[in-house]
Chains A and B, each alone.
Chain A
């Protein structure tokens, strides 16, 4: 197990290296000089030179990269051009709503997807199965921001049941918090649920076709017990992987959803920075989200190895 963990972590190094270079180079593909873009067309050459020096843009590219990446290792994601605030501080300020949203969305995904997936697998080929799969196909074709807009239109504007936008922190009371987050969470979670339900169904069907399940059926074990006790446990590994992967997608998807619902999370931070052309914040946030994404997948992979000995034995 120890070898497996080490191996898995080491395999991340080249990927993270490429990620950091790609994100770092973003600022250098900008047509024109970032310093003059930040200052606008009215700036004098002196002001531009001063800012270039201040931002370290006058150094050779590799030196800039080294300075930046060493900072990242120390938790310093750079300094905002606009507010002069450390990017790390801004990220932390904006992190809570995004995490709240992602967790709630994930809960919604699981509540919808797993029972439906199991039900579909259990009733394979029936009208119920086909309807569930049909709805999930439709769900996979609706981008979550679009579902968000439709929800606003129906529950916010037409019925007036829920606030159309805004955010209240958990401190304002759990139900207030929930009232503002439920629509964005559904719009994110329902779309992921389509994917997870499909995966659950496929995975359950595979297990239900194995010999030990047939043996259990032949022995006369109750269907309920077969499905939940024998099959679900073994079918759960691929489901867990998909859930882990969708958690990353949720965090990224939250970017757009937050903008629609005006939630002050990571998404709003990056969109505001795009408007201000604050490249330091854009770089910092993209790197931060990617690192979290990679880290979550790592944890899922390790969990996978912990639950299923076959995984780590194959890799040793």
Chain B
């Protein structure tokens, strides 16, 4: 009798579990759908960035005075700017600059932030110094620090990458540190120390892999932030200098002719929104996948 009863209990528990799993799967699917959309958007923009420049028929620098400020047409799909340059090819070449800056900043800050975060979490004395520096840099509003650095370094694309890397590295370092500190307190790390494992091996072989997932999430958001900040800096004239196209300085040109040429504001604007939205969706989705806890409050 006893076995039968427990069997019945087990089946109902199993059924309940299955139902819960189904619900969980469904929930994940919804959040994944957004993530997949975001990922596809970014993939699409990456493809445009990489092969687009070879496909456009117009030179982004070629000025044709009689074609200036033309509305979108079959010849110029997105219209032309005040120098008669083709807007479509400027936006596509601009994506190389803007996405390139975003990607480089995400990569550089990931590397630097990881080194700083890992060593800060391992050595107490370094922790105090490095984290105070991070706190200090993070309390200067990003756009202001970016402007000040660009003013000091001088406006060119390489300096935009340097400036934004300085601005965003502390954000990564903080995230890596808090993830690594949890690992450092684990028994197996203590065991490794007792065995005489080298610091290098503990940090890079055992602590580092545990920080990869939060790093990927953070890097995605920094990619988005870097795109916004680059656009803002170039829009203010403190970023990528003319005549190189970036979404930000196309917007700057567009602002000057906003009464005559809506297309110069709308199209680069849409590109910025698409890329940032895509990255935000991707980042949100990745975060939910990695840490289901954050899901509960939001969903």
Question: A-side interface residues toward B, CB under 8 Å?
Answer: 14-19, 21-23, 26-27, 29-31, 137-138, 140-143, 145-146, 149-150, 152-153, 157-158, 164, 198, 201-202, 205-206, 248-249, 251-253, 255-256, 259-260, 270-271, 273-275, 277, 279, 282-283, 285-286, 289-290, 293-294
Interface range for B: 35 or more
Whether A277 lies near B141 (C-beta < 8 A) is no
Cross-chain pairs A/B with CB under 8 angstroms, 28 sampled:
A15-B132, A15-B136, A22-B137, A23-B148, A26-B148, A31-B154, A140-B280, A141-B224, A141-B273, A141-B280, A143-B231, A145-B231, A145-B232, A145-B235, A146-B273, A149-B258, A150-B266, A157-B259, A157-B262, A201-B298, A251-B141, A252-B144, A256-B236, A274-B147, A274-B238, A282-B147, A290-B139, A293-B139
Beyond A21-B136, A158-B262, 19 extra complex contacts between A and B, CB < 8 Å: A15-B136, A18-B137, A19-B136, A27-B152, A141-B280, A142-B273, A164-B258, A198-B298, A205-B297, A206-B297, A248-B141, A252-B143, A255-B144, A256-B236, A260-B255, A273-B151, A282-B148, A285-B144, A293-B139
Residue on B nearest A134 in the bound complex, by CB: B34
**Shortest Cβ distance from residue B56 to the other chain A in the assembled complex, whole angstroms:** 24
- Interface presence of B277 (CB below 8 A): yes
- Interface presence of B265 (CB below 8 A): yes
**Shortest Cβ distance from residue A125 to the other chain B in the assembled complex, whole angstroms:** 8
B residues within 8 A CB of A279? 151-152
A202 to B297, CA, bound (A): 5
Whether A18 lies near B141 (C-beta < 8 A) is no
Whether A290 lies near B258 (C-beta < 8 A) is no
Q: Which of B134-173 contact A (CB under 8 A)?
A: 135-137, 139-145, 147-154
- Is the contact region of chain A dominated by helix, strand, or loop, or is it mixed? helix
Whether A282 lies near B137 (C-beta < 8 A) is no
A residues within 8 A CB of B284? 137
Contact flag A149-B251 (CB < 8 Å), given A157-B259, A252-B143: yes
Contact flag A146-B148 (CB < 8 Å), given A15-B132, A19-B140, A206-B297: no
- Interface presence of B88 (CB below 8 A): no
Interface core residue of A19, A253, A293 (most chain B CB under 10 Å): A19
Residue on B nearest A142 in the bound complex, by CB: B273
- Is the contact region of chain B dominated by helix, strand, or loop, or is it mixed? helix
Q: Which of B245-271 contact A (CB under 8 A)?
A: 251, 254-255, 258-259, 262, 265-266, 269
